[in-house]
Amino acid sequence: MKNVMVLGAGMVGSAIARDLAGEQKVTVADIDPKRLDVLSRGGLSTRRVDISDSEQLRGAVADQDLVIGAVPGFLGFSTLKTVVEAGKSAVDISFFEEDPFELDENARENGVTAVVDCGVAPGMGNIILGFHDRTMRVDFFECLVGGLPVKRSWPFQYKAPFSPIDVLEEYIRPARMMENGEIVAKPALSEPEYVELEPVGTLEACNTDGLRTLLRTMKTPTMREKTLRYPGHIEYVRVLLDSGFFSKDPVDVGGVAVAPIDLTAKLLFRKWRLGRDEPDITLMRIRISGEEGGAPKEYTYDLFDQYDEETGTLSMARTTGYTCSSVARLLLRGEFRRKGVCPPEYVGAEEGCFHQVMGDLRDRGVIYRVAEGPPPA
């Protein structure tokens, strides 16, 4: 067994830790003693660490063989930087805003591997595209993805399976995509469209900034990512956005400077928080088309995943966390050896790694249905 530390005892970090426990010596680090107490009572080893304190963090990871980053986005980059500088390989799902390739030279110099954005999307979408990019000329890539509550409640018809502030970041960060070989940026939540996905039915998709590293690593001339929500949610959120509720610029409220987005996140947390044992679902559709073997070809991957009642694990934790834990296994077994900052498409480009990740997910009930054939006329 090897030593693995999971940074962050939240929903996804806990799922990753439980998935790896028994195979490896897993320790979960977090500053919140209540979260740690729940995990320790469940049999996991825990350690109280202020992850934002680089010296504490360096000490905590000193004897670890692999570190998994499952912290909120605003902590992600600095956390990974500290881990890399400590000479530790990592798999990260924090989806931070900064460019991960800024840490590439440092990671190479330290001889470590840092797999970033290793969740469901970004994450599995990248892995799937990386796999097909090996054997075909990909002309088009589209990823539609969303985590939703089973129960739809007015007004937002949405519950956040993770930190609301990270959801709001998706709603304000410009959506970068590839059009005719050029990177273009469009407002988040723009170009809403209805899509039909079984077994749910009609959903609404809008632009979000989910392509991330693919814009740098892939030569595919047309790529886009859209987030799925129940119809009506996007319009409510756009009203808040256009009214300034997501602004990070402080405003004076009775002599106190308040950033509107901080207040909004606090208020929405009560509306968007999934209740105890409240079920959720995850849907994703990936379309990849181009030319393979001299003929037009299209692949479609469909995912519909549900809350696991037996283990009490949310679907978003399953689809995100089990992708991460599978890639962690590849590093621990020495099956993925590339050094430096490695987005998931690099993992998918290695055929054996791709099939291992797909198999691990299938064994855990996270199943991608694959259809292939000529592109539609």
Write out pLDDT tens, residues 333-373: 999 999 999 999 999 999 999 999 999 999 999 999 999 99
Residue 277's pLDDT band, with cuts at 50, 70 and 90, is confident
* Whole-angstrom distance, CA of residue 39 vs CA of residue 45: 8
Which residues face 222 on adjacent strands? 140
Shared domain check, 322 and 311 = no
Shared domain check, 184 and 63 = no
Question: Residue 99: inside a domain, yes or no?
Answer: yes
Shared domain check, 283 and 225 = yes
Question: Residue 371: inside a domain, yes or no?
Answer: no
Residue 163's pLDDT band, with cuts at 50, 70 and 90, is low
Question: Residue 347: inside a domain, yes or no?
Answer: yes
Is residue 164 predicted with pLDDT exceeding 80?
no
Whether the CB-CB separation of 56 and 83 falls below 8 Å is answered with no
Domains held by the chain: number = 2
Mean pLDDT of the chain: 95
351-363 vs 315-332: helix crossing angle, rounded to 10: 140
Whether the CB-CB separation of 298 and 289 falls below 8 Å is answered with yes
Q: What are residue 274's phi and psi, to 5 degrees?
A: -65, 135
Per the structure, the complete domain to which residue 140 belongs is given by 124-315
Residue 376's pLDDT band, with cuts at 50, 70 and 90, is confident
Question: Which whole number is the average pLDDT over 48-76?
Answer: 96
| Residue with more model confidence, 210 or 273 | 210
* Whole-angstrom distance, CA of residue 15 vs CA of residue 21: 10
Q: What is the CATH number of the domain that holds 228?
A: 3.30.360.10
Q: pLDDT of 10-34, one tens digit each? A: 999 999 999 999 899 999 999 999 9
Could you say which DSSP state residue 120 is in?
A: B
Shared domain check, 178 and 142 = yes
Shared domain check, 131 and 112 = no
Question: Residue 374: inside a domain, yes or no?
Answer: no
In angstroms, the Cα distances linking 137 to 22, 214, 292 are 41, 15, 6
Shared domain check, 239 and 154 = yes
Residue in 311, 337, 365 with CA at minimum distance from that of residue 112: 337
Using DSSP's 3-state secondary structure scheme, residue 174 falls into coil
Is residue 249 predicted with pLDDT exceeding 90?
yes
Residue 162's pLDDT band, with cuts at 50, 70 and 90, is low
| pTM for the full predicted model | 0.94
β-strands 137-149, 280-292: how paired?
A: antiparallel
Shared domain check, 130 and 111 = no
